[in-house]
């Protein structure tokens, strides 16, 4: 199987994030990529460096003012008197997130402090010196995997970091800046009439949902912990089903905390049935491991072995498939989770 990764994706090195009123140690550690690369190496898979596509892939799903902000926010922030080491918002402007409003007008203020509040949706998306570089390379990695599949590969793996599925058209959230899964889907949609995204990360793929909420050619299915008790809280409910042309093309499958393998895999079966019923011609799997029982910010009780079963189920869907790396923060288990998934997908 072809896999893609650029070493610059390990440069992003966040220092902090806010969790229940405390600034905590970061969870998206650069060492995550080493663990995942180890799983690929153990299976003889040598990742290829993606071609440089500039901002074109990011522009396919994000607004230009948002990308302009991400690109130079760090330098502008560091030039601001008394600014801290990372861009981190101290503002959260009210915005009525009506789903029919695809994205907002550009931020009125030219101030980087104001723009940080406007474009950073929470306190888990600090921007450091290399954040933009890593996030942009992740979009190239996702694009390269999609192009490999368009070129005839049955499956390709995009080792993206930072993750993407919480990133909206014009807002970073939850460790995510640029939506790699959405970018891969958009690229596949240039070749295939109907594309499905199956998101098995433990968090609702709220950014992906927002990006495609009005679209009938892209089905978004997300399996995640019930947002009533888990991030991202405001979306991910089963009654969010898409809007206008996209009505019925968004499916959320919330799970109770402590859900284990059997119920999680039943949810994957249900999601796979939805992908088939939609008539998808290509698939993006947004793959996270924070459903694992040892994940430091997880709430589910999924085993390492369950990822093999998820891989088998993806294989059984039998579509050209791009696998995009999302979350999973227990560095000691994520390599095994990816390995099990690949063994299930590729056959041992």
User: What residue ranges bind Zn ion (CB under 5 A)?
Assistant: 201, 203, 288, 290, 327
How far is it, in rounded angstroms, from Cα 24 to Cα 27? 9
Nearer to Zn ion by Cβ, of 63 and 181: the residue is 181
What's the min distance (Å) between Cβ of 200 and Zn ion? 10
Burial class, 347, CB count within 10 angstroms (exposed 0-12 / middle 13-18 / buried 19+): exposed
* Choice among 12, 140, 166, 224 that is catalytic: 166
Judged by CB, which is closer to Zn ion: 206, or 290? Answer: 290
Q: Which is nearer to Zn ion, 112 or 223 (CB)?
A: 223
Provide the CA 36 distance to its chain's centre, in angstroms.
16
Closest separation in Å from C-beta 288 to Zn ion = 5
Reading the block at residue 258, the tokens are: 């402590």
Our answer to whether residue 166 is catalytic in this structure is: yes
User: Which residue number has the CB closest to Zn ion?
Assistant: 327
Task: Give the residue with the Cβ less far from Zn ion, 144 or 225.
Answer: 225
Residue 47 is given by DSSP the state: P
For strands 218-225 and 195-199, give the pairing: parallel
Least distance from Zn ion to the Cβ atom of residue 302, Å: 12
Q: Taking Cα atoms as reference points, which of 133, 162, 168, 202 lies closest to residue 62?
A: 168
CB of 324 to Zn ion, least distance (A): 13
Specify the residue for token string 């979009």. 139
Residue 112 makes CB contacts below 8 A (sequence gap 6+) with 73, 76, 77, 80, 87
Q: Nearer Cβ to Zn ion, position 50 or 288?
A: 288
Minimum CB separation from Zn ion for residue 339, in Å?
A: 19
Q: Tell me how far apart the alpha carbons of residues 2 and 152 are, in angstroms, rounded to a whole number.
A: 11
User: Tokens standing for 188?
Assistant: 């596949």
In angstroms, the Cα distances linking 277 to 7, 37, 126, 192 are 39, 35, 40, 16
Helix (H, G, I), strand (E, B) or coil at 107: coil
Catalytic amino acids? 166
């Amino acid at each position: 199987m072809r896999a893609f990764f650029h070493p610059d994706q390990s440069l992003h090195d966040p220092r902090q994030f806010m969790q229940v009123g405390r600034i905590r140690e970061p969870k998206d550690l650069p060492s995550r990529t080493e663990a995942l690369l180890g799983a690929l190496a153990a299976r003889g898979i040598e990742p290829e460096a993606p071609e440089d596509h500039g901002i074109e892939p990011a522009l396919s799903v994000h607004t230009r003012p948002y990308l302009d902000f991400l690109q130079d926010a760090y330098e502008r922030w560091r030039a601001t008197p008394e600014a801290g080491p990372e861009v981190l918002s101290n503002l959260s402007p009210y915005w009525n997130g009506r789903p029919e409003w695809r994205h907002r007008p550009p931020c009125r203020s030219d101030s980087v402090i104001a723009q940080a509040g406007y474009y950073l949706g929470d306190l888990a998306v600090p921007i450091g010196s290399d954040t933009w570089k890593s996030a942009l390379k992740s979009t190239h990695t996702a694009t390269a995997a999609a192009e490999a599949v368009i070129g005839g590969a049955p499956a390709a793996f995009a080792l993206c970091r930072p993750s993407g599925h919480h990133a909206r058209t014009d807002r970073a959230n939850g460790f995510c800046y640029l939506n790699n899964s959405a970018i891969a889907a958009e690229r596949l949609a240039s070749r295939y009439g109907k594309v499905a995204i199956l998101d098995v990360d433990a968090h609702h793929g709220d950014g992906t949902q927002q990006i495609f909420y009005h679209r009938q050619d892209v089905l978004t299915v997300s399996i995640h912990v019930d947002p009533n008790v888990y991030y991202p809280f405001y979306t991910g409910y089963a009654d969010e089903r898409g809007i206008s042309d996209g009505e019925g093309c968004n499916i959320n499958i919330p799970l109770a905390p402590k859900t284990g393998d059997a119920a999680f895999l039943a949810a994957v079966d249900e999601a796979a049935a939805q992908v088939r019923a939609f008539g998808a011609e290509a698939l993006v799997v947004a793959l996270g491991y924070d459903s694992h029982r040892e994940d430091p910010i997880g709430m589910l009780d999924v085993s390492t072995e369950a990822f093999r079963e998820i891989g088998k189920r993806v294989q059984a869907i039998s579509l050209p498939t791009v696998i995009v790396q999302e979350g999973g923060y227990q560095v000691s288990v994520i390599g095994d989770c990816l390995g099990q998934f690949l063994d299930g997908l590729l056959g041992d």
